[in-house]
Amino acid sequence: MIDQLWLEVDGLTVDVLTGIYSAETHLPQPLRISVRARLAMADHYDPTTPLSGSKDYMHLKFAATDGIPKDVHFVLIESVADHIIDTLFLQDERIEAVEVKIVKLAIAEDGEQIGITMRRARP
């Protein structure tokens, strides 16, 4: 059996300058962002294991919210996901893989989830 530890932040709504159409390029649009990060696992987690034995979930939230520059226009949401992944890999070398799901809320109708999922693992 191979043990894996995934940290998750799900369903963040973040306004990001993104889009290719003229109606999208001048105002931020809402994106629903979820982030999963696979972290190198400790041998065991007992009740007194300190936070340094894992990772603060708020770092994932930061990468998907305040870590996204407000003054940069990301043409594709793929580049937003790429930025989040790069941020997390730079934060902590214990992160082995990252998955980012982005849903474009402005184009969704009737609860559709239109967007992308990007996964990257360290080589």
Residue 97's closest CA among 117, 123, 121?
121
Q: Which residues of the chain have pLDDT under 50?
A: none
Residue 104's closest CA among 96, 114, 119, 92? 114
Within 8 A by CB and 6+ apart from 1, the residues are: none
Distance from C-alpha of 95 to C-alpha of 37, rounded to nearest angstrom: 6
Residue type at 55 in one-letter notation: K
pTM for the structure as a whole: 0.92
Determine the Cα–Cα distance for residues 100 and 91; give it in Å rounded to an integer: 16
> Is-contact 100 117, C-beta < 8 A?
yes
CATH number, domain with residue 77: 3.30.1130.10
* Number of domains composing the chain: 1
Alpha helices in 12-106 (DSSP H): 57-64, 77-91
Domain that holds residue 87: 5-121
Give how far the C-alpha of residue 30 lies from the chain's centroid of Cα atoms, to the nearest Å.
14
